[in-house]
Structure 1
Amino acid sequence: MTQLQFNLDMDILKESVINSNLDTVIKSAVVLVLNEYMEKERDEFIQASAYERTNQRRDFRNGYYDRELTMSIGKLELRVPRTRSGDFSPTVFEKYARCDQAFILSMLEMVINGVSTRKVTHIIEQLCGESVSKSFVSSLTQKLDPVVNEWANRPLNMDYYPYLFVDAMYIKVRENHRVVSKAVYIATAITEKNKREILGLSIDHVESFESWSRFFQQLKSRGLQSPKLVISDAHQGLQKAIQREFIGTSWQRCNVHFKRNIIEKLPKKNSEEIRSMIKRVFGAVKIEDSRRFKEELMKQFSDEPKYEKALEILDDGYEDTIQYMSHPAKMHPHIRSTNSLERLNQEVRRREKVIRIFPNTQSAFRLVGAVLMHYQESSYDKKKSLGK
């Protein structure tokens, strides 16, 4: 890159210091620097100084035009030099694209963190003394598309993920002049080094066997190998998709959801003893102890009609809910439920509530993907390995 040397008119800057406040001084200094920089760039382009006669000249000066540049210090009025041919273009506007990059990144950061576009425009006006339109802020978010798409399609064959967590949440999207619900599929995992990682996401019309299968096939196409254990809720289409797409993989039903389903069927009064025994069943470290505690519970309360529905749920789903006990004890707290994924969903939901209705599916994918990337960087990447 050409290194340009230039001098500033310090008399102009000194006048700004004496007669203006600090904000005006800073703006004046930046305007002086950028105007002088563009002037020297034009000299380099023409290959001749003003009034210089030389055989190397490639163009002629043709005055100036005014152009605005919005930066984090406010809106600047620049004096842009022109050439007769019109071929000269200063790099200032290429570099800043009419808004400086730090300014753009600040706005994007606000959007990702759940600040509405309306509030972003108000904040920018308070900080810079200049207003930007909601449509301008919305258009800036499109800069996230290539970044989010690259992240969402990155290879997954560099690591093995023995534990996979999957869940779906619903959002509202405007489609064909109607507001419809769409399912957002999110997958997280634990690596062999016991680090959490967000693997990817997908948005589909409904939560079904076919859509879950497509999501798993997408992960596999990126290099995901069959995990040892998939942890999820008990959606039947999801269970079927796991069985078909991951041969030899065990399914772990979320322990928290399962216990909640059992307790909901218990009487609210005079059920302290059975609640305590249920807790003991799933609090065991060894699978043999858990099965023994479960049999003792079933035997003790099987003749009481008020517990019939709760015991039926326990018996039907018990084996699917203790699969985590076949894995190292230090990993039990981390793989027996989808709590970690639920917390991630809450972060997505907190930002999604600001928007309420996405204008289209791509905008939903963009924002959710950006939130997941931000969460990965700010939360998972800073934590130590699990089970230590």
Structure 2
Amino acid sequence: MAATESLNVADLLGQHLESASPDVLRAMVKTFADALMSAEADALCGAGYGERSAERANSRNGYRQREWDTRAGTIELAIPKLRSGSYFPDWLLQHRRRAEQALVSVVATSYLLGVSTRRMEKLVEQLGVKQLSKSQVSEMARHLDAQVEAFRNRPLDAGPYTFVWTDALVIKVREHGRTVNVHALVAVGVNADGGREVLGLDVASDEDGAGWLAFLRSLTARGLSGVRLIISDAHRGLVGAIGAALPGAQWQRCRTHWSRHEISRRAVQHPSLVLYGDRCGDLAAGHYTVRGSRSASERAATASGVGGRGPALRSWRGAGCRPGGRGERDDRASWRLRTGTRRRSPAGGPGSPARRRPQVVDRA
């Protein structure tokens, strides 16, 4: 649990962007850097590019090309030139490694938190840029949309994806002046290299079979293949959609969801019994504490009775649960991403307006 609390979701998403397709990350960084330099040049000129204004103090005079070496490859930057004076981005004069990391962080955080005007202003302030108008920030935000859509709809050609985890995240957003719940349908898979990859993310008003079926079919249309095992909860609509969209794959119920169900069921049957256990522990082997208003002998009898009537709990610790290992029987891969997203997102509450675009995890 301690490792989960220290998870930086923006860094995790940046790593997924880098590993998924360097071309996508390189295009996103170039688009954002060009838009940022153009906005800074407009601020120095006192007017936008090609705009007539009485407040104009300078004008553009073409571009000069500069190469920027990054982890994603060499990026050709078009730095604006001015007729009077000169312009060079201060944030690029810093250590180039630091500037590159900052831009990757901005791109990943924009993808994660959404690209609203107010948030983008805070993000570019990390680079020391504080002279941008709201219209310029909005234009920069729109530049990222096409690149984000390309990442979301990229071909899934790193297969076969042997294992796939699917789950939904429910959060509150504001739509038309009222707070509603929306569902983010998430799929994480293991590619041919053994690495975990975010396969897809989509928005649905309700977690029903039709939404899951459309989501899974979109993944297969993008190239999802070779799936042998899908791990998820026991949602009927999801299980039926898996059978319809991926008929050759086996389905297994996520152990985390199963254990929570068993614990809640035992608590209803025995109100004086409180169970504490970890995912890789045997609850019936003693990982629980009994408390209540009855006598100690009665509570002890209740505890032993639960162990006797719970063969499923006793056999919980199986071959797929290795102490300190990485099993495939639960949704740990997507669970870390979802919990980190909920913790990181400032829009987890109803105070944020929702825009129905699937790339925004915190309102999906």
TM-score, length basis structure 2: 0.56
Tell me the residue number matched to 2:233: 233
Distance in 2 (alpha carbons) for counterparts of 1:271 and 1:183:
30
The alignment partner of 1:345 has SS state of helix
1:344 equivalent in alignment to 2:337: yes
Distance in 1 (alpha carbons) for counterparts of 2:324 and 2:222:
26
Q: How many residues align?
A: 267
* Larger RCO: 1 or 2 (CA < 8 Å, sep 6+): 2
CA apart distance, 1:243: 1.7
CA apart distance, 1:131: 4.0
Kindly name which structure, 1 or 2, has the bigger radius of gyration based on alpha carbons: 1
The alignment partner of 1:149 has SS state of helix
Kept after mapping to 1: 8 A contact 2:170/2:181: yes
1:361 equivalent in alignment to 2:356: yes
The alignment partner of 2:44 has SS state of strand
CA apart distance, 1:225: 1.8
CA apart distance, 1:204: 1.4
Code of the residue aligned with 1:91 in structure 2: it is G
The alignment partner of 2:360 has SS state of helix
**Any gaps of 5 or more consecutive residues in structure 2?**
1-36, 51-58, 65-76, 82-87, 93-98, 286-301
The alignment partner of 2:211 has SS state of helix
The alignment partner of 1:366 has SS state of coil
CA apart distance, 1:171: 3.5
The alignment partner of 1:258 has SS state of helix
**Any gaps of 5 or more consecutive residues in structure 1?**
1-67, 83-87, 281-302, 372-388
Kept after mapping to 1: 8 A contact 2:232/2:252: yes
Question: Pick from 68, 71, 93: which aligns with 2:40?
Answer: 71
Kept after mapping to 2: 8 A contact 1:108/1:141: no
Distance in 1 (alpha carbons) for counterparts of 2:248 and 2:184:
26
Kept after mapping to 2: 8 A contact 1:122/1:131: no
Kept after mapping to 2: 8 A contact 1:114/1:350: no
CA apart distance, 1:177: 5.1
Distance in 2 (alpha carbons) for counterparts of 1:175 and 1:272:
39
1:91 equivalent in alignment to 2:84: no
Kept after mapping to 1: 8 A contact 2:43/2:132: no
CA apart distance, 1:193: 2.8
Deviation digits for residues 167-190 of structure 1, max 9, x if unmatched?
Answer: 111234444554432211111101
> Identity, % of aligned pairs?
26
Tell me the residue number matched to 1:199: 199
CA apart distance, 1:108: 4.9
CA apart distance, 1:360: 1.6
Kept after mapping to 1: 8 A contact 2:117/2:137: yes
The alignment partner of 1:200 has SS state of strand
Deviation digits for residues 317-368 of structure 1, max 9, x if unmatched?
Answer: x8xx89x95x898997331110121111123324433475344202xx2333
Distance in 2 (alpha carbons) for counterparts of 1:236 and 1:152:
26
Higher helix fraction (1 or 2): 1
Kept after mapping to 2: 8 A contact 1:217/1:245: yes
CA apart distance, 1:220: 0.8
